[in-house]
A and B are shown apart, each in its own frame.
Chain A
Amino acid sequence: MQPAQAAPMYADSSSEAAPIERAKWPISDLIFQVCALLAILLALSVIIALLFDIFSDGFHRLSWDFLTSFPSRFAAKAGIYSALVGSFCLMLLTIVFSLPLGVGAAIYLEEYAPKNRWTALLELNLANLAGVPSIIYGILALQIFVRWLDFDRSLLSGALALTLLILPVIIIASREAIRTVPRTLREASLALGATQWQTIWTQVLPVALPGIMTGCILAFSRAIGETAPLITIGALTYVAFLPDGLFSSFTALPIQAYNWVSRPQEAFHANAAAAMVVLLIILLSMNAFAILLRVKYQKRTR
């Protein structure tokens, strides 16, 4: 009696529960799919609207003259020469500072640092630092580089501010790339009597390099579009000369655009849009290069 009673009850509850779930599933699935699709469309349409807006405003101003003229009081004569060169120098310096520091820190953390509470704390802070708003780095750089170290509102200060900003991103990306190198590779090298440094330099880094480069290029493309930290440390907005050294004052593309947008005349707004187009082209080609690099080397590692 007892088992006979128990069995149908069990069967009953399960046969009731199962169809309900199965019936509900496709609807919730559908709803989710539609929501996801809408989200993508929304994001895409915002980007397209943005690109359309910028291009329609600024495209007619793009010309060789625009690229090679200094800013001017007359919108039609103004160009982005000093800003373009400024951005280029800024990037170059930022790369020089942040690449060895960031990759070095990543190598230390992955290969040498003991795995203890301190390194765990360090890791947590790195992740946090990567999320800190860029203006905070600007304020920090203003105090340290501009005031204490007396570098003034120079290219050097700007590059160091950007370095601070992207260092956590570079470290995190490089660590990730180094971590994907299989342990068997390190073991093979160490077992042959290679030192740890020889192993890192000749085996680990070459395999990790494409990943490191991809992460770094994405970080640099973030830095090249940054405005807030540069404004905070006091990059100039009207520069009619090219930087002639580390301590030269400078301007950069986003700063130049920011300056033009804040003017009342329509014509300057067109200039700002054109400067943005140039910046976007640089950005997109950097990202495309990163993707190319990844695709090219993905095939070669197993």
Chain B
Amino acid sequence: MSAEPAFQIKTDMNTSFRAADNAEPTAAVEPKIKVENLNFFYGNHQALYNISLNLLPQRVTALIGPSGCGKSTFLRTLNRMNDIIPGVRLNGEIRIDGNDIYAPNTDVVTLRKEVGMVFQKSNPFPKTIFENIAFGPRVYGLKDRTKLEEIVEKSLVRADLWKEVKDRLHTSALDLSGGQQQRLCIARALAVDPEILLMDEPASALDPRSTAKIEDLIGELRSHYTIVIVTHNMQQAARVSDYTAFFYEGSLVEFGDTREIFTKPRERQTEDYITGRFG
């Protein structure tokens, strides 16, 4: 039972593993995000324990682990989305490009512009497709109509949605299919030109074809962004990511090269999880 998925993962990796394509000495690259001794609390409930890891630019990092282990919580500390939940606390340090994002003088709005996020459940605004994408740039004060149109087109092309919607830009985004809506949300995030893209199970509600589209998209975006993706799909993690972080009950159990994590994990827990023995 459990040997089969593991085998599948290995075959997948042989065909489309990415870190191997251009294996650079990782030590030479300055990390984009540096997390040190991060502890996170919802009220009295501690959700993250002493997390430390570095995320490299132009790489895809997958966060895996059983439900409730703190993947989303961790992801949301990176753009301070947890701030809007009452009663949360955190200590430790997160640095993006060397700047402490929880320092008192950090501007959350600027931070969130640089750290885009795509949610598990697609959440387009109940407005037109155009308005959805133009919202971000508008918020930053862009009024020029032709510039906005340019950005909308560019973002939609990037998210591989342009061909499907170019004739209906001014119809409601809620009329799109689930997969299209999710790509719209990705386009919306790209429209503000972030440097980091956080994706929380972006394909979990999608069919295999839409999922494949999103995965291809991640592959294409990889060269421009630092991407962190939460996924429950081991094959997906193996296919799209360069690095994998395995979380368990709020702790980071193992972090490393995706190929190594999936072929010769150091920890027993990691191996059990990726081979489907628990989780």
> Contact residues of A with B, CB < 8 Å?
114-115, 182, 184-195, 198, 202-203, 207, 300-302
Interface status of B71 (Cβ within 8 A of chain A): no
* A115-B86, A191-B81, A301-B126 known; A184-B135 Cβ under 8 A: no
Tell me the complex Cα distance, A51–B86, Å. Answer: 52
Q: Is the CB of A187 within 8 A of B139?
A: no
Q: Is the CB of B121 within 8 A of A193?
A: no
Contact with A192, one of B84, B86, B139, B174 (Cβ below 8 angstroms):
B139
Task: For B110, list chain A residues within 8 Å (CB).
Answer: 193
Q: Is the CB of A187 within 8 A of B81?
A: yes
- Residues of B in contact (CB 8 Å), total 26
Q: Which residue of B lies closest to A186 (CB)?
A: B84
Q: Is the CB of B174 within 8 A of A190?
A: no
Tell me the complex Cα distance, A115–B86, Å. Answer: 8
* A184-B123, A302-B126 known; A189-B84 Cβ under 8 A: no
Task: For A301, list chain B residues within 8 Å (CB).
Answer: 126
Q: Is the CB of B135 within 8 A of A190?
A: no
Q: Is the CB of A184 within 8 A of B109?
A: no
Tell me the complex Cα distance, A23–B67, Å. Answer: 47
> Contact residues of B with A, CB < 8 Å?
79, 81, 84, 86, 109-113, 116-117, 119, 121, 123-126, 135-136, 139-140, 174, 185, 188-189, 192
Task: For A300, list chain B residues within 8 Å (CB).
Answer: 126
Contact with A188, one of B79, B174, B185, B192 (Cβ below 8 angstroms):
B185
* A192-B135, A194-B139 known; A207-B185 Cβ under 8 A: no
Q: Is the CB of B135 within 8 A of A193?
A: no
A sample of 22 cross-chain residue pairs with beta-carbon separation below 8 angstroms, ordered by A number, consists of: A114-B86, A185-B125, A186-B84, A187-B84, A187-B119, A188-B125, A189-B125, A189-B135, A190-B84, A191-B81, A191-B117, A191-B119, A192-B135, A192-B139, A192-B189, A193-B110, A193-B112, A194-B135, A194-B136, A203-B125, A301-B126, A302-B126
Task: For A192, list chain B residues within 8 Å (CB).
Answer: 112-113, 116, 135-136, 139, 188-189, 192
Query: Which of A115, A193, A207 has the most CB atoms of chain B within a 10 A radius of its CB?
Result: A193
Tell me the complex Cα distance, A114–B85, Å. Answer: 11
Tell me the complex Cα distance, A34–B185, Å. Answer: 53
Q: Which 6 A-B pairs have the closest CB atoms?
A: A193-B113, A184-B123, A191-B117, A193-B112, A192-B136, A188-B123
Given A192-B139, A207-B126, 10 other A-B contacts at CB below 8 A?
Answer: A187-B123, A188-B119, A190-B112, A191-B112, A191-B189, A193-B113, A195-B139, A202-B135, A301-B126, A302-B126
* A184-B119, A184-B121, A207-B126 known; A195-B109 Cβ under 8 A: yes
Task: For A189, list chain B residues within 8 Å (CB).
Answer: 125, 135
Task: For B84, list chain A residues within 8 Å (CB).
Answer: 186-187, 190
Q: Is the CB of B119 within 8 A of A193?
A: no
Q: Is the CB of A193 within 8 A of B109?
A: yes
Task: For B86, list chain A residues within 8 Å (CB).
Answer: 114-115
